[in-house]
Amino acid sequence: MSVPIPRKLIVLGDSGVVGWGDPEEGGWCERLRRHWMGLPNGPVLYPLGVRGDGLERVAARLHNEVSCRGELRRRQPQGILLAMGLNDCARVGRADGRPQLDADGFLFGLQQLLAQAKTLAPVLVVGLTPVDEAVMPYAEVLWYQLEQVRRYEGLLEEACLEADVPFLPLLEPLLEDPGWLHWLCSDGIHLNSHGHREVYERVRQWPALLRWADLQPLALGSTSH
């Protein structure tokens, strides 16, 4: 009797994908990986985050990261999840300084990245998380602002709509909770364990991801880990 080959999902992004700030369970991506491991025929998830990465660095890693994750019968991964953009919107040097990647460049680069990624596998994109402006600058040089985060998440959504790619907004849903500041680390940009759990729950129940994973009946009836 042959054993079903599980689907593989590549998650490309920044420190959020790494799970930075969550010493308890390793971040939202690691939580999802463990959750899927406990499900019959659950997908294999590869969290491929690099701290500080923005869109351009993620794009530069795309082909190599995907091409070397075909360990099961040399099959290519069946899905790509992108989770980046927060580092691109940070202003350099001062609160009104230039962004690390200006809005026009971000949108253009994102359009190119989505087009390239779609030739490799189905693509999904998650939005951006809140920041605490009161503790800026980060590392004495980067200014993260909610207005900028909102603008860049809007660009993510715009590009995904244009490319017919599923998009999961995160910023406004998280900000709706009056306690959202308690989900951030003291640096004001990284999620802590509580914040990663909030994102994990939203990603885990995302209908587009459940459809991709063919896990709807199982996931809807399961409990979080």
114-139 average pLDDT score: 97
Render pLDDT for 80-120 as a digit per residue (tens, 0 to 9): 999 999 999 999 999 999 999 999 999 999 999 999 999 99
- The CA dihedral of 61, 65, 67, 70, to the nearest 10 degrees, is -170
Average pLDDT score, the chain: 92
Q: How far apart are CA 97 and CA 100, in angstroms?
A: 9
| Statement: residue 176 has pLDDT above 50 | yes
Handedness of CA 40, 80, 151, 18 (dihedral sign): positive
Whether 200 contacts 47, CB under 8 Å: no
CATH superfamily membership of 8-215? SGNH hydrolase (3.40.50.1110)
Which tokens in the block code for residue 220? 């809807």
In the block, residue with structure tokens 């063919």: 214
Higher pLDDT, 216 or 142: 142
- Give the C-alpha separation, 193 to 126, whole Å: 18
Give φ, ψ of 168 to 5 degrees: -110, 105
Closest CA to 40 of 3, 11, 76, 65: 3
- 17-72 pLDDT, tens digit per residue, is 999 999 999 999 999 999 999 998 899 999 999 999 999 999 999 999 988 876 65
- Please report which residue ranges of 19-145 form alpha helices under DSSP H: 28-37, 55-67, 86-89, 103-118
Domain extent listing, the chain: 8-215
Residue ranges of E strands in 65-145: 79-83, 91-92, 123-126, 142-143
Share of the chain above pLDDT 90, in %: 84
